[in-house]
Structure 1
Amino acid sequence: MPLNLKVVVLAACIAVAPLSVAHAGSLSTQKTTVGDLFANPQAKAIVEKQFPGISSDLRMVMAKGKTFRELNAMNPKGIPADKLDAIDAELAKLP
């Protein structure tokens, strides 16, 4: 790969990285996508505590671009708001 192309690829990666990975202090079920929560090991563990096995549920692949609050709006019984509130409380404690 020519040097100029390497620089362009590196610059693109640096520019996009902050868009896809939220900082731990700003994670929430309202603003952070399912995919981004599962990409963060601490956040994934918090979600798994409320919804055991959810990160390996094949339906989550289709939902990775949505937030848990959006999923709650579509299925309040399957994704109860009280569990999302508990997740948010734990996410807020992350450094």
Structure 2
Amino acid sequence: MKRSLIAGLASLSIALAGGAALAANGKSVDKTPIAVLAADPAGKAVLEKELPGITRHPAYWWFKGKTLRQLQAMSRGMLSDEKLTAVQRGLDAAQTPAQAPGPTSK
């Protein structure tokens, strides 16, 4: 009983650590479903900038639950590594809080 409790707690802490890492890293072309990216206004703006029309694509209903990385494997070269890198850069920039202006010298 004690071993199973310890094993359960260890599994829980690993799962929580993974969730915390994902939260810290934010949205990703590798792990975040396209629908989740599109549900966020900043994420949707990045998608539409780098992949114009993706959320209006006739098959969106089919691929929206996949990640961009998963969709890339089925895209026959239409989603290049460069495109995914550009999307990831945009997502990272959208998640970076705006820096407050520094003190000004007089």
Same fold, judged at TM 0.5 (above): yes
* Contact 1:34–1:64 (Cα < 8 Å) also in 2: yes
1:71 and 2:71 equivalent? yes
Which residue of 1 is the match for residue 50 of structure 2?
Answer: 50
Measured on the aligned residues, the alpha-carbon RMSD in Å equals: 2.1
Amino acid paired to 1:26 = G
> Can you give the 5+ residue segments of structure 1 that lack an aligned partner in the other structure?
1-21
1 CA distance for matches of 2:24 and 2:84?
16
- The percent identity for this pair of structures is 35
> Can you give the 5+ residue segments of structure 2 that lack an aligned partner in the other structure?
1-21, 97-106
1 CA distance for matches of 2:23 and 2:69?
19
Higher relative contact order (CA 8 A, sep 6+): 1
**TM-score normalised according to structure 1 size:** 0.69
2 CA distance for matches of 1:92 and 1:52?
19
Aligned residues: 75
* Contact 1:24–1:91 (Cα < 8 Å) also in 2: no
Moved runs in structure 1, 4+ residues, more than 3 A?
22-25
What is the SS of the residue equivalent to 2:66? coil
**TM-score normalised according to structure 2 size:** 0.63
